Amino acid sequence: MKGDVFVSAQRFFRGTRVSFAIQRSSRRRFEDVFGAFAPEEYDFQFQKTNVLVKLLQRDYASRSEARRLLANLEKFSEIVLDFRDVKSVGQGFADEVFRIFAHRRPAIKIATENTNPAVAAMIRHVRGQ
């Protein structure tokens, strides 16, 4: 057996696994990345999050889909929902996110980015704009 090879039965745990990679030559600074999500105005705590909405699917219709997307986001003070590559959202989904959730948690700022015209129109509709 080689000294650098180890074989065992892999154990699986329920939960979320997060990983990342960065090039050694990257010019990004830790302070810049940390500051984007835990800025001074939040006492350097992670109070901001960006959610890539398409990770779950590309079309959303129901309130239950909205609730799955919003799970545990009440822990943040600022949420940015990135709708890149999301084709459509239904009225129930949009209402649950932008009216119900927002009304129940008025201290949380919800912003959007990369919305196509159809998604933006539905969000405006449920917000009453």
pLDDT above 60 (res 2): no
Q: Tell me the per-residue pLDDT of 48-97, one tens digit each, with 9 for 90 and over.
A: 788 889 866 778 888 999 999 999 899 888 899 999 999 999 999 999 99
Query: Distance (Å, rounded) from C-alpha 49 to C-alpha 79?
Result: 5
pLDDT for residue 1: 47
Query: What confidence score (pLDDT) does residue 80 get?
Result: 93
Give the whole-angstrom CA distance, residue 102 versus residue 53. Answer: 17
Rounded distance between C-alpha atoms, residue 95 and residue 61, angstroms: 10
What gap in Å lies between CA 116 and CA 85, rounded to an integer?
8
Asked whether the whole model's pTM tops 0.75, one would answer no
- Cα separation, 81 vs 54, whole angstroms: 10
Per cent of the chain over pLDDT 90 is 43
Domain positions in the chain? 40-127
Query: Residue 90: is it exposed, middle or buried by C-beta count within 10 angstroms (0-12/13-18/19+)?
Result: middle
DSSP H or E run through 92: helix 91-95
% the chain with pLDDT above 70: 74
d(CA 31, CA 98): 32
For residues 101-107, average pLDDT: 95
